[in-house]
Amino acid sequence: MALVSTVRGAQLARLLGQWHALPGRRRSPDYAALAGAVRGLLTDGRLALGVRLPAERELAQALAISRTTVSAAYRELRASGHLTSRRGAGSWTTLPGGHRVGSHGLWAPLDDLDGIDLGSAAMPAPAELPAAAEEAVADLSRYLSGAGYHPAGLPDLRDAVAAGFTRRGLPTSAEQIMITSGVQHALDLVLRLLVPAGSPVLVETPTYPNALASLAARRARIATHGLGRAGWDAELLLGAVRQTRPRLAYLIPEFHNPTGHLMPVGLRERLPAAVHSAGTDLVADESFVDLALDGVAPPPPLASYDRHSRVLTIGGMSKPYWGGLRIGWVRAAAPVVQRLAAVRVGMDMSSPVLDQLVAVRLLERADTVVPARRAQLVRQRDALVAALRAELPEWRFAVPRGGMSLWAELDGPVSSALARAAEDLGVRLAPGPRFGADGTLERFLRLPFALPPEDLAEAVRRLAAVRYDLDRVPRPRWSEPAMIA
Ligand SMILES: Cc1ncc(COP(=O)(O)O)c(C=O)c1O
């Protein structure tokens, strides 16, 4: 049986914070606002699944509201599938449909047409995709006489990816490349191969939330290196590697998601030797390396300073091309690639041949697709920056020189409250705590600039309204009389 933990009334009250003062909720009754706030905590990952909620009376007392309101809120949560109750056993948190998956990493698209989704940093497909797909269909005939299984990837695509590394100054052969179904898959495979359950793993904080989800699935013990306004602190990071001797370090040196930082060359030179001395393997996530903006030239890849095959590089096509392709890769020593391919056979066997052929044809168009993406991102970033400076001048941020998102420091620890309230105005946000391992980062918000300038400007206008309301909405006057029982 699953372990069920209990959240006490006072704890839930603290988590709920100013639930009654969220903008837009004056239109809805108290019980609906309370149910909405609990749902918000659940989808944020701040309230875990399978947790027993306090008894109605206890929560009513902790929130100083009537038990009737709590009963009605619990009833609504049961109706929406977020709560399951059994007489005598209490009520515990669930997800609709009975799923017991963690909420980390669940990013359903908005079905509201007026909604603006700032939850994900991903762009639509490039215009060149259909032509690349047509050519790929024609190429397919060359493969039809084989079985179609290539656990390490289609030779043509491995060649093309290896050539890309070689062009960046890191000589690479096709045997050092394994093709995966996206970067997330690449990370998951590497963790399966290299991280036994319970091993210590070092990550940046903030970091990419779905990497945390993968690490949680491996039951890794997380150690963190906090990024400051200027990015990595070399001495602290190297010190953390020496002291914690993690089994693996997962870092995002190229236009880090969410902060946009680019790791300086001095740290790149020192890290591979440091991890080698600590017995640590280093995964460098290069998802955004192609998306340098303003003519910035990223320094040589981390792996080019690696003398001991300690650095595994993961990257892919989702950010510069299209996430829907599901094409990623690992660059590692050839024997490691073979072991990864063996792990993959027990998982999904191989990536689809046709999709890999599309990837080959798209990579041939890199010189048109990638510069167009960069130009588009510069326009979108500039629109976001201008809107923020005009509408939310108290928020502080460094203008990112690459990648797709801006990491804003807010004027208070309101990120989750803001995200919950923004949903009412049709803006989906990924609040700061989603990017941390420990529920902190409430003063931060990731704002991707993956949408057209006018959508970004409108989203910031709505955010400014929400932010203003958070401070200004008076405490509610309860409609029910206080119950004395
Ligand atoms: C840093 C980072 N790594 C990995 C991924 C996952 O990429 P993919 O869609 O290729 O699995 C993302 C996507 O947002 C990312 O930002």
- The model's confidence at residue 106, banded by pLDDT at 50, 70 and 90, is very low
pLDDT digits (tens, 9 = 90+) for 258-270: 999 999 999 999 9
Task: Please say whether the beta carbons of 388 and 460 come within 8 A.
Answer: yes
311-316 and 281-285: which strand pairing?
Answer: parallel
Which candidate, 309, 269, 265, 303, places its Cα nearest to that of 285?
A: 303
Q: What's the confidence (pLDDT) of residue 7?
A: 82
Quote the tokens at residue 344. 């993959």
Best mutation site among 107, 191, 208 for ligand 1 pocket (most ligand atoms within 8 Å of CB): 208
CA of 185 to the centre of ligand 1 (A): 9
Q: 424 and 275, same structural domain?
A: no
Q: Whose CA is nearest to atom 14 of ligand 1?
A: 121
- For the segment 62-75, the average pLDDT, to the nearest whole number, is 95
Residues having CB within 6 Å of any atom of ligand 1? 121, 182-184, 208, 252, 257, 285, 287, 316, 318, 323, 328
Has residue 193 got a pLDDT over 70?
yes
Give per-residue burial for 314-337: e unless 16+ CB within 10 Å, then b. bbbbbbbbbbebbbbbbbbbeebb
Phi, psi (degrees; rounded to nearest 5) at 350: -175, 160
Range of the domain at 372: 112-125+368-472
Q: 30 and 17, same structural domain?
A: yes
Has residue 99 got a pLDDT over 50?
no
- The model's confidence at residue 111, banded by pLDDT at 50, 70 and 90, is low
Residue 104 lies in a domain: no
Residue 42 lies in a domain: yes
d(CA 136, CA 153): 16
Q: 336 and 437, same structural domain?
A: no
**Index of the ligand 1 atom closest to the CA of residue 318:** 10
Mean pLDDT rounded to a whole number for the chain: 90
Q: Whose CA is nearest to atom 7 of ligand 1?
A: 183
CA of 183 to the centre of ligand 1 (A): 5
Number of independent structural domains in the chain: 3
d(CA 365, CA 354): 17
Has residue 298 got a pLDDT over 90?
yes
* Helix H or strand E segment including 203: strand 200-205
CATH number, residue 143: 3.40.640.10
**Index of the ligand 1 atom closest to the CA of residue 317:** 10
Angle between helical axes of 129-140 and 353-363 (0-180°, round to 10) = 130
Cis peptide before 400 (omega within 30 of 0): no
Q: What's the confidence (pLDDT) of residue 374?
A: 98
CA of 187 to the centre of ligand 1 (A): 9
Residue 483 lies in a domain: no
Lowest-confidence pick of 82-96, 178-192, 299-313: 82-96
Q: What's the confidence (pLDDT) of residue 284?
A: 98
d(CA 350, CA 344): 7
- The model's confidence at residue 343, banded by pLDDT at 50, 70 and 90, is very high
- For the segment 363-372, the average pLDDT, to the nearest whole number, is 98
Task: Residue 88: count other Cβ atoms within 10 Å of its Cβ.
Answer: 5
Task: Please say whether the beta carbons of 260 and 240 come within 8 A.
Answer: no
Distances from the Cα of 207 to the Cαs of 53, 256, 264, in angstroms? Answer: 30, 8, 18
Q: Which residue has the higher pLDDT, 454 or 11?
A: 454
- The model's confidence at residue 1, banded by pLDDT at 50, 70 and 90, is very low
CATH number, residue 39: 1.10.10.10
Please give the distance of CA 176 from its chain centroid, rounded to a whole number.
27
- The model's confidence at residue 4, banded by pLDDT at 50, 70 and 90, is low
**Index of the ligand 1 atom closest to the CA of residue 327:** 10
Residue 484 lies in a domain: no
Exposure of 68 in the CB half-sphere (CA atoms within 13 A):
10
Please give the distance of CA 389 from its chain centroid, rounded to a whole number.
25
Q: 310 and 188, same structural domain?
A: yes
Q: Which of 316, 335, 367 is the last residue of a domain?
A: 367
CATH number, residue 377: 3.90.1150.10
pLDDT digits (tens, 9 = 90+) for 275-292: 999 999 999 999 999 999
Q: Please tell me whether the overall predicted TM-score, pTM, comes out greater than 0.85 for this model.
A: no
Task: Please say whether the beta carbons of 217 and 247 come within 8 A.
Answer: no
Q: What's the confidence (pLDDT) of residue 309?
A: 96
pLDDT digits (tens, 9 = 90+) for 406-459: 999 999 999 999 999 999 889 999 999 999 987 679 999 999 999 999 999 999
- The model's confidence at residue 64, banded by pLDDT at 50, 70 and 90, is very high
Q: What's the confidence (pLDDT) of residue 107?
A: 47
Residue 340 lies in a domain: yes
d(CA 300, CA 273): 16
**Index of the ligand 1 atom closest to the CA of residue 182:** 10
Q: 353 and 232, same structural domain?
A: yes
CA dihedral sign, ordered 465, 471, 473, 476: positive
Task: Residue 116: count other Cβ atoms within 10 Å of its Cβ.
Answer: 21
% the chain with pLDDT above 70: 90
- The model's confidence at residue 473, banded by pLDDT at 50, 70 and 90, is low
Q: What's the confidence (pLDDT) of residue 481?
A: 59
Lowest-confidence pick of 1-10, 37-46, 385-394: 1-10
Q: Which of 367, 398, 421 is the last residue of a domain?
A: 367
- The letter for the amino acid at 154 is L
List, in sequence order, every residue forming a beta bridge with 225; answer none if it has no partner.
Answer: 204
Q: 118 and 84, same structural domain?
A: no
Q: 375 and 355, same structural domain?
A: no
Q: List all residues 6 or more positions away from 59 whose beta carbon is below 8 Å from its beta carbon.
A: 9, 12, 13, 53, 70
- The model's confidence at residue 14, banded by pLDDT at 50, 70 and 90, is confident
Q: 295 and 243, same structural domain?
A: yes
Distances from the Cα of 445 to the Cαs of 209, 407, 468, in angstroms? Answer: 13, 6, 16
Q: 222 and 362, same structural domain?
A: yes
Q: Left if phi > 0, otherwise alpha if psi is -120 to 50, otherwise beta: which for 332?
A: beta
Q: Quick one: how many helices (H) and strands (E) in the chain? A: 15, 15
* Interior angle at CA 42, CA 41 and CA 47, nearest 5: 75
- The model's confidence at residue 78, banded by pLDDT at 50, 70 and 90, is very high
Has residue 294 got a pLDDT over 50?
yes
Best mutation site among 179, 317, 319 for ligand 1 pocket (most ligand atoms within 8 Å of CB): 319
Q: What's the confidence (pLDDT) of residue 105?
A: 44
Q: Which of 333, 350, 367 is the last residue of a domain?
A: 367
Q: 78 and 169, same structural domain?
A: no
Quote the tokens at residue 180. 């995966």
Residue 70 lies in a domain: yes
Q: What's the confidence (pLDDT) of residue 100?
A: 39
Q: 360 and 373, same structural domain?
A: no
Q: 180 and 329, same structural domain?
A: yes
Task: Residue 266: count other Cβ atoms within 10 Å of its Cβ.
Answer: 10
Has residue 110 got a pLDDT over 60?
no
Q: What's the confidence (pLDDT) of residue 46?
A: 62
83-86 and 90-93: which strand pairing?
Answer: antiparallel
Q: What's the confidence (pLDDT) of residue 18?
A: 80
Residue 477 lies in a domain: no
- For the segment 324-350, the average pLDDT, to the nearest whole number, is 97
Report H helices in 23-66.
30-44, 56-63
Residue 169 lies in a domain: yes
Quote the tokens at residue 127. 């215009």
Phi, psi (degrees; rounded to nearest 5) at 389: -65, -35
Has residue 159 got a pLDDT over 60?
yes
Q: What's the confidence (pLDDT) of residue 104?
A: 42
